[in-house]
Amino acid sequence: MNKEKIRCAWCRNDPLLSEYHDKEWGKVIKNDNKLFERMTMEVFQAGLSWKIILVKRKAFNKAFAEFDIKKVARFKEQKIKKLLEDKSIIRNPRKIYATIYNANAILEKQKEYGSFYNFVKKLDTNADLVKQMKKHFKFMGKETTTCFLMGCGRIKVNHDKNCFLYKG
């Protein structure tokens, strides 16, 4: 008998969302460029569905130099103009500028903490996480901050009780 895994309701019946749910969501990310990718994806997801972001993921990787923090931090007006014309990504100017700003902010956190991962790891989860993130980064409201920190494994994800990954 082929028993199918029961997943969280938000990803059921969708192979792309299910794969993300099973292999990435809530898993600890230690690589700074991967953390930057996750942050950027959450920024661009604001107001949209997560599926849209996953569908456009390869295009985002190409547009943002494989999320190489140092390269994105150096993006200037010519590159920004190209991004604003790139129909394969979400062309929201505020989100594009926030991504470049955030890359520069991450470089500062790397200097201060040794890595962006160390900064994320040291966030006080008993305090206001949104206030901590907004102090350093753009476009990091309550939902975006929470999703970023859950997505990268810094805070516990909320699996449905009947999900095969639920741990109580």
- 168 vs 160: CA distance, rounded Å: 9
Q: Supply the CATH number for residue 146's domain.
A: 1.10.340.30
Q: Determine how many CB atoms are found less than 10 A away from the CB of residue 28.
A: 10
The reply to whether 66 belongs to the active site is no
Q: Is 42 an annotated catalytic residue? A: yes
Residue 2's pLDDT band (boundaries 50, 70, 90)?
Answer: very low
pLDDT band with cut points at 50, 70 and 90 for residue 168: confident
The answer to the question of residue 159 being in a domain is: no
Catalytic residue at 50?
A: yes
DSSP 47: T
Tell me the average pLDDT across 12-25.
96
Which pLDDT score is estimated for 3? 57
Tokens at 150, concatenated: 């859950």
pTM of the model: 0.95
Please identify which residue in the block is written with the tokens 């931090």.
73
List the domain range (segments joined by +) for residue 114: 16-151
From the candidates 19, 42, 77, 101, give the one annotated as an active-site residue.
Answer: 42
pLDDT for 4 equals 77
Give the count of domains, the chain: 1
Q: Please enumerate, as own/partner, the contacts of 54-58 that have beta carbons within 8 Å and a separation of 24 or more.
A: 54/16, 54/17, 54/20, 55/16, 56/88, 56/89, 56/90
Tell me whether residue 161 is in a domain. Answer: no
Specify the pLDDT at position 71.
98
What share of the chain has pLDDT > 90, as a percent?
93
User: What mean pLDDT do residues 104-111 have?
Assistant: 98
Tens-place pLDDT, residues 36-86: 999 999 999 999 999 999 999 999 999 999 999 999 999 999 999 999 999
pLDDT at 1 (0 to 100)? 43
Give the C-alpha separation, 52 to 151, whole Å: 16
Instruction: Give domain status of residue 6, yes or no.
Output: no
Mean pLDDT of the chain: 96
Q: What are the tens digits of pLDDT across the range 111-140?
A: 999 999 999 999 999 999 999 999 999 999
In a domain, 1, yes or no: no
Distance CA 150, CA 154 (A): 6
CB 117 within 8 A of CB 33: no
Q: Which of 20, 25, 37, 117 is catalytic?
A: 20
- Domain assignment present for residue 81? The answer is yes
Q: Is residue 8 part of a domain?
A: no
Query: 4, 24, 25, 50: which one is catalytic?
Result: 50
